[in-house]
Amino acid sequence: MKKKTKKILMIAMAAVFGILMVGSSTFALFGGFGPKNQVSTQTTTGTPADNYREEERATFCGTSEAKSNKYITEFKIPTVCSQPLAITTDPSGNVWFTESNTGKLAKFDPFSRFFTEYENSKWPKGDKSMMWGIGYASDGNVWFTDDAHDVVWKFSVAQQDYTTFKYPVSEGGQALPQRLLIEGKKILVNDFTGNKITFFDSEQTGQEIRYSKLQFPSNDTATASMALDPDGRVWYTVWKYQKGGHLVRYDPKNSNGTGFKLPLGALAPNGISVGADGKIWITDAASSLFFSFDPESQKYTKFITTVPRELTFGNSSGVIKTPISRPYWNHFDQKGRLWFNEQTANSIAVFDPAKVSLVEYLVPSQNPNWADCGGLSACGIAQILDFTMNDDKIWFTEWVENNIGLLDSSIPLPIDVNVEPSEATLERGSNATLSFTITPKEKLDESVSITAATTAGPHDLDVSGGDQKVTAGDQPQTLSVKVTADKFALSGTYKVVIGARYHDVTVSKFVTITVK
């Protein structure tokens, strides 16, 4: 692709994800504030940090050592400023991830806790690229995407060498290979700006990909990641930022594609997974929302995360009135729970559809250059841009802190929560009182903060009592939360999430409110 065209596409991505173009560098803000204006200096370190100006290095290369809390352990990558991104595991439990500032593929052995970083002699010196997609194939090769060079890479674990395949561009010379899904010998890659999803064989050779493709008939849309249902049908989203789009189902058996209009509030629906019951789950990277879609009824249900902690967004300037969590990618575990990364809440979350409950784990590392931190010391986000699962272990990357992290979801939670009633119907202008009970599973050494949010608009439902605190101790405590429907509220069914926040974890339950 021509450099001019690529720059235009990067600017288009900026409109979606908040990327700020500065000189020849791309500040992938993803909703953050970025580095402060400073006088440019340059000290050569002989490391990948040299790809950034000296005043940028804390922003992109990390600000602290690896940290840990009760649930999460972080591991510092040996190479400085590697910027880990896509991540997966192999059948032996090894963790593989891309280094977007070095062009290397790296492996982490969780038993020996040893990193192996594989030199990539084909990588242009000083280049960097957002490598969003990765997959481990059954033949022992690791595949990953490279959006800066419009290629798909194959790494032979046995031979320890790299092969590149030129990714096909669309009309107008556009291409941005993003996520990657391996199903048997077939590899699927979504072309985020090229309006297509490609299928190709993992055993092919040569420099050009021999591929087939599917496209949804729309122009100037983003084509996001994809998922397969048990019948082999492909599900993905196409959308324009803040302007809606479609959830698409494609059946390769008969080449039939069907589009379902996305619901209101879906601004940048990137992540997608298929549950065991056939429902489609979508996470929205430009809000705090996630959605389920029932193919039988063709209806969406909207959910919302809790409000991010202030220590993640800072707000020293006072300009942030409605902080959002930005749930990005999502995956189901073997227990039927939906996991997703909350990028700007600096958290990993898990939603249980059966219990209609949400647990959010706060990641310990924070980079203050990506939030409105001012002089706050404990503030910011680590840019958790990808994660993968291996049984109860959730592995994730911290793009601007040069860490990979491990969340052990088998560790018991300190509290349990329950809310009654679990659903209520309100006339306009009326209210309902909910009883929210917190049951300690251990003796609590600090108070528990209550938080609440709703999928309704600000002039439809009001939730009061969601900012209380519960004293420490070991006895169950119940408090009241009132939900009021505005006199002019829009009729409909909404979700209210009420959470209890203790140390590094938030445990929540959802209530269904119907306004008549």
Q: Where are the alpha helices (DSSP H) in 279-319?
A: 310-313
Mean pLDDT, residues 99-105: 98
Q: Is 220 exposed, middle or buried (0-12, 13-18, 19+ CB in 10 A)?
A: exposed
Sheet with 196-201, edge to edge strand ranges: 177-183, 186-191, 196-201, 211-214
Residue position matching structure tokens 């619901």: 263
Mean pLDDT, residues 261-287: 97
Distance in angstroms (rounded) separating the CA atoms of residues 470 and 488: 33
For the chain, how long is the longest CA-to-CA vector? Answer: 69
For residue 318 the two structure tokens come to 């006072």
Q: Are 257 and 249 in contact (CB under 8 A)?
A: yes
Lowest average pLDDT, out of 4-8, 126-130, 327-331, 353-357, goes to 4-8
Strands (DSSP E) contained in 167-277 are: 177-183, 186-191, 196-201, 211-214, 222-228, 234-240, 244-251, 256-261, 269-274
By 3-state DSSP, what share of the chain in percent is helix, strand and coil, each rounded to 5?
Answer: 5, 45, 45
pLDDT at 41: 60
Residue position matching structure tokens 């840019």: 383
For residue 269, the number of C-alpha atoms closer than 13 Å in the C-beta half-sphere is 31
Report DSSP state, residue 287: S
pLDDT at 209: 83
For residue 335 the two structure tokens come to 């227990």
Tell me which residue of 422, 403, 443 sits closest to 495, measured CA to CA. Answer: 422
Tell me which residue of 273, 225, 269, 230 sits closest to 246, measured CA to CA. Answer: 269
Lowest average pLDDT, out of 95-109, 160-174, 324-338, 415-429, goes to 160-174
Distance in angstroms (rounded) separating the CA atoms of residues 255 and 189: 18
Residue at 190: amino acid letter? N
Report DSSP state, residue 57: H
Tell me which residue of 133, 165, 170 sits closest to 152, measured CA to CA. Answer: 165
Per CATH, domain 415-515 is 1.20.140.10: no
Tell me which residue of 139, 129, 231, 114 sits closest to 175, measured CA to CA. Answer: 129
Q: Are 178 and 192 in contact (CB under 8 A)?
A: yes
Lowest average pLDDT, out of 77-86, 209-218, 399-408, 496-505, goes to 209-218
Name the 3-class secondary structure at 457: coil
pLDDT at 17 over 60: no
Tell me which residue of 239, 279, 238, 289 sits closest to 456, measured CA to CA. Answer: 289
CA-to-CA separations, 289 to 47, 233, 321, 462, in angstroms, rounded: 39, 25, 17, 18
CA 398 to chain CA centroid, nearest Å: 12
pLDDT at 351 over 90: yes
CATH superfamily of domain region 49-408: YVTN repeat-like/Quinoprotein amine dehydrogenase (2.130.10.10)
Q: How confident is the model at residue 364 (pLDDT cuts 50, 70, 90)?
A: very high
- The backbone torsions φ and ψ at residue 61, rounded to the nearest 5 degrees and listed phi first, read -115, -10
Q: Higher pLDDT residue, 471 or 190?
A: 190
pLDDT at 229 over 80: yes
Tell me which residue of 273, 385, 397 sits closest to 17, measured CA to CA. Answer: 385
Q: Higher pLDDT residue, 359 or 207?
A: 359
CA 387 to chain CA centroid, nearest Å: 8
Q: How confident is the model at residue 23 (pLDDT cuts 50, 70, 90)?
A: very low
CA-to-CA separations, 161 to 153, 166, 255, 309, 491, in angstroms, rounded: 10, 17, 36, 44, 59
pLDDT at 194 over 60: yes
Mean pLDDT, residues 244-260: 94
pLDDT at 11: 38
Q: Where are the alpha helices (DSSP H) in 319-397?
A: none
pLDDT at 174 over 90: no
Q: What percent of the chain has pLDDT over 70?
A: 92
pLDDT at 275: 97
Distance in angstroms (rounded) separating the CA atoms of residues 22 and 19: 10
Mean pLDDT, residues 85-92: 97
Average confidence score pLDDT of the chain: 91
Name the 3-class secondary structure at 128: coil
Distance in angstroms (rounded) separating the CA atoms of residues 165 and 338: 33
Q: What percent of the chain has pLDDT over 90?
A: 84
Mean pLDDT, residues 467-493: 94
Name the 3-class secondary structure at 370: helix
Distance in angstroms (rounded) separating the CA atoms of residues 190 and 226: 7
Q: How confident is the model at residue 205 (pLDDT cuts 50, 70, 90)?
A: confident
Sheet with 477-485, edge to edge strand ranges: 415-420, 431-440, 477-485, 461-464
pLDDT at 40: 53
How far is the first Cα of the chain from the last one, in angstroms, to the nearest whole number?
54
pLDDT at 506 over 70: yes
Quote the radius of gyration of the chain (alpha carbons, Å): 23
pLDDT at 18 over 70: no
pLDDT at 228: 97
pLDDT at 295 over 70: yes
pLDDT at 22: 28
pLDDT at 24 over 70: no
For residue 292 the two structure tokens come to 């389920």
Distance in angstroms (rounded) separating the CA atoms of residues 514 and 361: 30
pLDDT at 28 over 90: no
Q: For residue 274, what are the contacts with CB-CB under 8 A and spacing of at least 6?
A: 227, 228, 229, 230, 235, 280, 281, 332
Distance in angstroms (rounded) separating the CA atoms of residues 124 and 111: 33
pLDDT at 9: 40
Name the 3-class secondary structure at 202: coil
pLDDT at 206 over 70: yes
pLDDT at 226 over 80: yes
Mean pLDDT, residues 137-152: 96
Where do the structural domains in the chain lie, given as residue ranges? Answer: 49-408, 415-515
Q: How confident is the model at residue 166 (pLDDT cuts 50, 70, 90)?
A: very high
Report the DSSP beta bridge partners of residue 325.
Answer: none
pLDDT at 34: 47
